[in-house]
């Protein structure tokens, strides 16, 4: 009779923590969202949340980025759009579906006391399309490679 080689008390192989740095990413999901203002409780702020797959050398990790559609914070969404090839057009804003599967690069950092990476700065693509970086093209991965 065959037995299962499984011990629930044994520690699973843990993946290493991804250090801050420059990594390519892919937008896997984007949705409109209404945020509560921290400065003015009770005030609602329109925005968008983007889900990113961040491709480190040994693993793919999830990251989330929030964008506020206010005059003071719109610069961040503009930088994000430029990074992934969707320049901001105030007259014709992009639908969230247009962000899906776009790729780019960003410097990611980890804030003190936070275990998740956050975007420090979006990197603009090179203007010369013949000099495409292979790092900007995320590798093919399976769902088993993605940390949740």
Task: Render each residue's pLDDT in the chain as its tens digit; 148 residues.
Answer: 555 554 555 444 455 678 889 999 999 999 999 999 888 888 899 999 999 999 988 899 999 999 998 888 889 999 999 999 998 877 777 888 999 999 999 999 988 888 788 999 999 988 644 444 444 455 555 555 555 4
Around Cβ 84, how many Cβ atoms within 10 Å?
Answer: 21
pLDDT of residue 53: 96
Tokens of residue 6, six digits: 């499984």
**Among the residues of 69-144, which ranges form H helices?**
74-84
Question: What is the distance between the alpha carbons of residues 21 and 125, in angstroms, rounded to a whole number?
Answer: 17
The whole-angstrom separation of Cα 93 and Cα 82 is 13
């Amino acid at each position: 009779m065959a037995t299962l080689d499984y011990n629930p008390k044994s520690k699973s192989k843990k993946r290493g923590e991804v250090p801050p740095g420059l990594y390519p990413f892919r937008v896997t999901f984007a949705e409109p969202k209404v945020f509560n203002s921290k400065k003015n409780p009770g005030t609602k702020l329109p925005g968008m949340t983007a889900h990113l797959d961040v491709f480190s050398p040994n693993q793919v990790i999830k990251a989330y980025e929030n964008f506020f559609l206010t005059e003071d914070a719109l610069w961040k969404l503009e930088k994000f759009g430029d990074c992934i090839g969707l320049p901001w057009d105030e007259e014709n804003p992009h639908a969230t579906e247009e962000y899906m599967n776009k790729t780019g690069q960003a410097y990611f950092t980890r804030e003190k006391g936070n275990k998740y990476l956050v975007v420090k700065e979006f990197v603009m693509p090179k203007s010369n399309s013949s000099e495409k970086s292979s790092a900007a093209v995320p590798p093919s991965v399976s769902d088993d490679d993605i940390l949740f």
